[in-house]
Amino acid sequence: MLLACTLTGLLALTGCTGNEADRIDDLSDASFELVNQDSTTVTFPDDFAGQALVVGYIYTQCPDICPMVTANMRQLRDRVDAPDDVAFITITFDPRRDTPERLRAYREAYGLGDTDWQFLTGDPDTISQLMERLDVRVELSRGSYDDDDYLIDHTDQISLVDPQQRVLFHYGGSMTPVDILAEDLATIRPAS
């Protein structure tokens, strides 16, 4: 049985169990061509078939909330001992600035350079469609996309996707206790 969903006050959560009827979305029909921090093409979610996914959303010009999302995912990864059947994935919603090179530098700054944790970006249209599909809202709050100096209001979110590529949980990314994430993740891992 899946654990309770954490609704951090930020998200309207529509599915709290792994039951077919309670899933938030089914990504098995989706295919988004992205690129990772090493400029390698990644097809999401196809390239992660058979794995449980922990997905976080950031932009690297965000010094406060987004690092908390990354830190929360890192604590979860440490808690479950980085198993091979779970993929940790961070997707930027600021593809104009977050190039593979910038994502690689960010990843290394957070001590993740030696892990298989992938940081993904893509062309703006693809990222926009993916964010919409994953219920991540992105709005400019200052500046314009025409220059390099803007701030973004965004959903603070971590998602869990099961090995059948069903989106089962959205959480407040920066503040959901790792205990809750770990217990829910345990229920959707392939070995569970």
Partner 1 sequence: MRVFAFSAVLLVSIAVLGGCESESSTSDAHRNAERTASDTLHITNAWVRPAPEGGVTALYLEVHNRRATADTLTRVDTPVSSRTELHTTVLHSNGTTGMRPLENGLPVPTDTTTRLRPGGPHVMVYDVQPALVIGDSVRVTLYFNAFERTLTAPVRPTPPQ
Query: What residues make contact with partner 1 under the rule CB under 8 A?
Result: 9-12, 60-65, 67-68, 71, 74, 102, 105-106, 108-111, 137, 139, 141-142, 151-156, 174-175
How many of the other CB atoms lie within 10 Å of CB of 128? 15
CA distance 86 to 19: 20
Strand order in the sheet with 41-44: 25-26, 166-172, 157-161, 52-58, 86-92, 118-121, 32-36, 41-44
**Based on CB atoms, which residue is closest to partner 1, 85 or 179?**
179
**Based on CB atoms, which residue is closest to partner 1, 16 or 65?**
65
CA distance 43 to 120: 10
**Based on CB atoms, which residue is closest to partner 1, 94 or 184?**
94
Q: Are 18 and 171 in contact (CB under 8 A)?
A: no
User: What minimum distance in Å lies between the beta carbon of 99 and partner 1?
Assistant: 11
**Based on CB atoms, which residue is closest to partner 1, 21 or 142?**
142
Q: Are 54 and 76 in contact (CB under 8 A)?
A: yes
How many of the other CB atoms lie within 10 Å of CB of 192? 12
User: What minimum distance in Å lies between the beta carbon of 110 and partner 1?
Assistant: 6
User: What minimum distance in Å lies between the beta carbon of 60 and partner 1?
Assistant: 6
User: What minimum distance in Å lies between the beta carbon of 108 and partner 1?
Assistant: 7
User: What minimum distance in Å lies between the beta carbon of 111 and partner 1?
Assistant: 6
**Based on CB atoms, which residue is closest to partner 1, 67 or 190?**
67
Radius of gyration for the chain, computed over Cα atoms and rounded to the nearest angstrom: 15
